[in-house]
Amino acid sequence: MRLLRLTNSNDYNDEIPELLRGEAITRRLVAEAIGEEVETVSRAFWPSSKLPAKVAGWLDEYEPDMVFIRCAAYWVSFESVPLRIDRTLGRLGRWPAAVGKRLGSEPTVASNRAAVWVRRRLVRAIGGDTYFTPGEATRHVEAVLRVILAKESTIAVVRGPGHAHNTAGTARGQRRALARNGEFDEQLAALCARLRVTYVSARPAAAVAESLGRDDVHSTAAGQRAFAELESPVIAKAWEDARRV
């Protein structure tokens, strides 16, 4: 079975050995469950108007039997100070926003305890914007699903958002993150029910203790395993159900 895994930066976390990352664990567990080899092609993606065309190209290139979409909580719950500056100040905010984004994307900076402390204080003082509302993110996922479903022989499975990102590090920030995450989860579940696509909520795995690493964004090895153990049976069942039809 060939699986196209549409994923995020968690699958490329160099701080975790490759065999302990979610992709490798899921591949092994699904192969054991269905009794055949699983070939996985992973592609990181970000919601945008160009994404459906990009996914269509991947479908033509890799000809997967199944597409597994891992929706990220980061899209709707991470509160970005550079994004707030960019959206608030317009042209004047582009330079500081670009510098902030570049620094935040550097692993050595992002995982530094002092940097996390500063980021939290800035979010509390200035506020941060999320990249998408739950509704916007759901519409991007729907556009991708419609491209996949147009390939009648291709199976689609969607996993909901993982850890809600409490960027401010406060009780109020946690409530905001959980509310956005919950809304996104519910909208995705409704979308998949409407399109008759298999959906798995990631809420049970997101409750695993210490599942966020030093950067307060990416999963630890324990978190990666928890998500893989949640996702794998759903992928295996979707495959077996499709073969029985």
Mean pLDDT score across all residues of the chain:
85
The one-character DSSP state at 106 is -
* Residues 64 and 169 grouped into a single domain: yes
Task: Indicate the number of domains in the chain.
Answer: 2
Q: Are residues 13 and 86 in the same domain?
A: no
Instruction: Give the residue from 129, 158, 193 where a domain finishes.
Output: 129
**Domain enclosing residue 91, as ranges:** 80-129
Question: CB of 11 within 8 A of CB of 219?
Answer: no
Domain end among 110, 129, 148? 129
The whole-model pTM stands at 0.85
Q: Are residues 71 and 145 in the same domain?
A: yes
Residue 65 has pLDDT above 70, yes or no: yes
Task: Please write the tens of the pLDDT for every residue from 182-236.
Answer: 999 999 999 999 999 999 999 876 665 456 666 666 778 888 888 899 999 999 9
Give the pLDDT of residue 115: 66
Residue 3: is its pLDDT beyond 80?
yes
Instruction: State yes or no: pLDDT of 174 exceeds 60.
Output: yes
16 vs 47, residue with greater confidence: 47
